[in-house]
Homo-oligomer: A and B are copies of this chain.
Amino acid sequence: MAKKHETAIRPTRAENYPEWYQQVIRASDLAELSPVRGCMVIKPWGYALWENISRALDDMFKATGVKNAYFPLFIPVNFLEKEARHVEGFAKECAVVTHHKLEKDQQGELVPAGKLNEPLIVRPTSETIIGDAFSRWVRSYRDLPVLINQWANVVRWEMRTRIFLRTSEFLWQEGHTVHATRQEAIDRTYMMLNVYIRMAEEYLAMPVITGEKSAAEKFPGAEMTTCIEAMMQDRKALQAGTSHFLGQNFAKASGIRFQSAMETEEFGWTTSWGVSTRLIGGLIMAHSDDNGIILPPRVASSHVVLLPILKNIDENEKVMAFTRELAEKLRRKNYHGTPVRVEIDERNIGGARNWEWIKKGIPLRVEIGPKDIAKDSVYVSRRDKDRKDSVSMQKDAFVDEIDTILDEMQSRLYEKALAFQREHTRDIDEKGEFDAFFTPADPQRPEIHGGFARSPWCGSTECELAIKDRLNVTVRCIPFDREADGGKCIECGAAGKGRVIFAKAY
């Protein structure tokens, strides 16, 4: 429990940002690392967040005609090899299944047995295995477009893991589509990027910048990768979602052919697009403070906790009856198409109870004691405001206004994050200023520096890699709407092709 003037999370953001992140997750009870290397356990409070995110995304996907399906977890190595850059991108970090049983050896130890003729890898992404299915499903232009999404777990064997941001196993959705024309596939790529922008900004209250990835940063096998990137509170960028135009690369690799209306045989044009549980890491780093996480109402695991004050045995039953009635009324309220989510915490554990819910980031805490009941009122605290801003409200007014209060909180979180992003985004044209921007001013606080630099770039991978080597800064995206007139490349001084967004990244 944090004392007055203390923070619930130690260290604070300013003291040690990476460690603060770990402690916020621990205190919020969202997830924990498991004893299985690099894998996490998503606990109920964190999984509810994922359920709300995925339900909202699923509705948006379906509104564009996408249908869900499910494809095998295992991919034969020869499938992966069909697209050369793709296998190069994923072969170095994949879980390989080589046997199909365990048997006791002579020492009585269980060892792998039943060796497979061909090893299988656990999907790191499913372009090749889904492409194989599509090659059977698509015969004619009449079968197009194919618009499929899969909710699944994937595995990429990461050496340095960080909960939610980079784990060996994570949950995601991967959309895969096939189209008759190049333009239709490109349109779909942007359409799904727009769904991700909506998810980030309207649901997670997380402003993003968007654009195209550079050659060095795009998806292995893609012709174009578009992305959303959000600024975290340590001013680093988080790639929060990507939508790829794959050209005909995977169609050729998998043999996705169709007979056109002109009766010619053509390869399909494909896209793929995904977001993952990484979004939860982004949400944490975008909004949390030194007292823990702050959950944006649109996706919050729960909206409001009722905290009955049960100190007087004669009045407890009355307090609980009032609390339960309020809970029922709130649950009948609709907030953006779902019932208001309500918790009741009747534990008698003093101030620790309040602090626990602060750390869990629930948007609203409502205290209910005999004195409140006498006035038919409740005492409401908002997670995005100070304790001193808590207010007493008439119970009925609170029920009437809860959706407005939640919406106001949602907007405020977004506005605050947007102001932060703008504050730390700068047009930089000089190499010296660029390097200074990305170098810690205070060696005691190495993580607090930088931001998004909007700087001219000549477009060469050499310059991009030179900057990466020197500063660990990469091109996060090439904005769609940048002015073509360019200035001089921040690295080599040659004619730039316009400004791009540079940042350090997760």
Spell out A's residues near B (CB within 8 Å): 32, 34-36, 39-44, 46-48, 50-51, 67-77, 80-81, 87, 91-103, 110-112, 114, 119-122, 129, 132-133, 136, 148, 152-153, 155, 157, 169, 171
A133 touches B34 (CB 8 A): yes
B94 touches A70 (CB 8 A): no
Q: Which residues of B contact A101 (CB under 8 A)?
A: 91-94, 96, 157
| Minimum Cβ distance to chain B for residue A73 (Å) | 5
B75 touches A102 (CB 8 A): no
| Minimum Cβ distance to chain B for residue A111 (Å) | 8
Q: Which residues of B contact A100 (CB under 8 A)?
A: 93-96, 157
Q: What is the copy number of this chain in the assembly?
A: 2
A102 touches B110 (CB 8 A): no
B74 touches A98 (CB 8 A): no
B40 touches A169 (CB 8 A): no
Selected contact of A98 from candidates B32, B80, B87, B98, CB within 8 Å: B98
A110 touches B77 (CB 8 A): yes
Q: Which residues of B contact A122 (CB under 8 A)?
A: 73, 97, 122
| Minimum Cβ distance to chain B for residue A164 (Å) | 12
> Given contacts A72-B169, A75-B36, is CB(A96)–CB(B94) below 8 Å?
no
A34 touches B71 (CB 8 A): yes
A96 touches B91 (CB 8 A): no
Residue of B nearest to A79 (CB): B35
Selected contact of A102 from candidates B74, B91, B132, B136, CB within 8 Å: B91
**Closest 6 interchain pairs by CB?**
A39-B72, A44-B67, A96-B99, A42-B70, A91-B102, A100-B157
> Given contacts A48-B67, A67-B48, A69-B44, is CB(A110)–CB(B91) below 8 Å?
yes
A102 touches B121 (CB 8 A): yes
Residue of B nearest to A158 (CB): B100
Q: Which residues of B contact A110 (CB under 8 A)?
A: 77, 80-81, 87, 91
Residue of B nearest to A36 (CB): B72
| Minimum Cβ distance to chain B for residue A147 (Å) | 9
Residue of B nearest to A51 (CB): B68
Expressed in whole angstroms, the Cα–Cα distance for A198 and B100 within the complex equals 36
Expressed in whole angstroms, the Cα–Cα distance for A106 and B56 within the complex equals 49
B73 touches A169 (CB 8 A): yes
B129 touches A102 (CB 8 A): no
A47 touches B69 (CB 8 A): yes
25 sampled A-B residue pairs with Cβ under 8 A: A32-B136, A34-B132, A35-B76, A36-B75, A36-B76, A39-B72, A39-B73, A41-B72, A41-B133, A44-B68, A46-B69, A47-B70, A50-B70, A73-B122, A80-B102, A80-B110, A87-B110, A91-B103, A96-B99, A96-B112, A97-B98, A97-B122, A101-B157, A112-B119, A122-B122
| Minimum Cβ distance to chain B for residue A1 (Å) | 17
B97 touches A129 (CB 8 A): no
Selected contact of A74 from candidates B44, B68, B152, B169, CB within 8 Å: B169
A41 touches B68 (CB 8 A): no
| Minimum Cβ distance to chain B for residue A153 (Å) | 6
